[in-house]
Homo-oligomer: A and B are copies of this chain.
């Protein structure tokens, strides 16, 4: 049986707080041949997702915790090198979730064949992948902004935030972003068409800044951050506002007792707010519909996105660590091929 030398990134130590490269280890392995119903793939791109941290602390969350030595999970897109499934042929490009590996043997079940087309294969991990789908359902199903309402989006230059704001804008909302640094804020307004973007590093009083840019109050807050940003936004909500909790990066890897904690919960009553957490996989049955819409908007040029592409699988741990310092600008993806 012919094997193929490959590398993969595994969890070397559980991560109690924020990740550092030394929590990971690059391993050399030999990848075998596919059996019936399997494919051998060469990874083209692997995503680098902040949400993965929730699985690396040794404690189960919305997904089971990784054991030491397990490959770090991520969305992936790759080229089929060998196929033992009639639906896939050598040379096909498939999207899956085989994690940070150069090559892999994977079950054909749960894969999706794509025609990369003009957006390139990496878009399948970002604007057409989980972040784009999260933005789509977060805004259109949970937030449901009405025309004229104000939508506030944190991590506005990030993978979910950048798409969320543009979808809210299509609904006729006034859209205000929060991002770190003038470069990201400029891009959010000038390239993405947000009405304003607050630089949380420059604003001494974030709540006051939100109120300044959202004089009618925030109708929908799409939260990708949690922590003190969420606490500030709670004080700025309009009556009957909706807080869509899509990600809580500020809380990932921070043990509960060390978190600042949400102190402005009385605003839930004062303003009759609804705060709702969601996991996009609950909408899996509608992913096709959502992808078709996102793809159409991409193709007509009305939806823009940006990728932070770094070369080489061995870079993934450092890129991952940088996510929590706001170092990425756009969807973080590792180019593996």
Interface residues of chain A, those whose CB is within 8 Å of chain B, are 54, 61-62, 226, 230-231, 245-248, 251-252, 256-257, 259-279, 282
Neighbouring B residues of A279 by C-beta, 8 Å: 269, 272
List, in ascending order, chain B residues with CB within 8 A of A270's CB.
61-62, 277
Which residues of the other chain, B, contact A245 by a CB distance below 8 angstroms?
Answer: 265, 268-269
- In the complex, are the beta carbons of B269 and A62 less than 8 A apart? yes
Bound CA span A273–B248, Å: 14
Q: Give 10 new A-B contacts, CB below 8 A, not counting A248-B266, A272-B276.
A: A54-B266, A62-B269, A251-B265, A259-B261, A262-B263, A262-B265, A268-B275, A269-B279, A273-B276, A274-B277
Interfacial chain B residues near A230, Cβ < 8 Å: 265
Kindly identify which residue among B259, B267, B269 contacts A247, using a CB–CB cutoff of 8 Å.
B269
Point out the residues of chain B lying under 8 angstroms from A276, CB to CB: 268, 272-275
**Which residue of chain B is the closest to A226 with respect to CB atoms?**
B265
Rounded to whole angstroms, the CA-CA distance of A239 and B84 in the bound complex is 38
Q: Which residues of B contact A273 (CB under 8 A)?
A: 276-277
CB contacts (< 8 Å) of A62 on chain B: these are 269-271
Complex-state Cα separation, A165 to B52, whole angstroms: 39
Minimum C-beta distance from A319 to chain B (A): 23
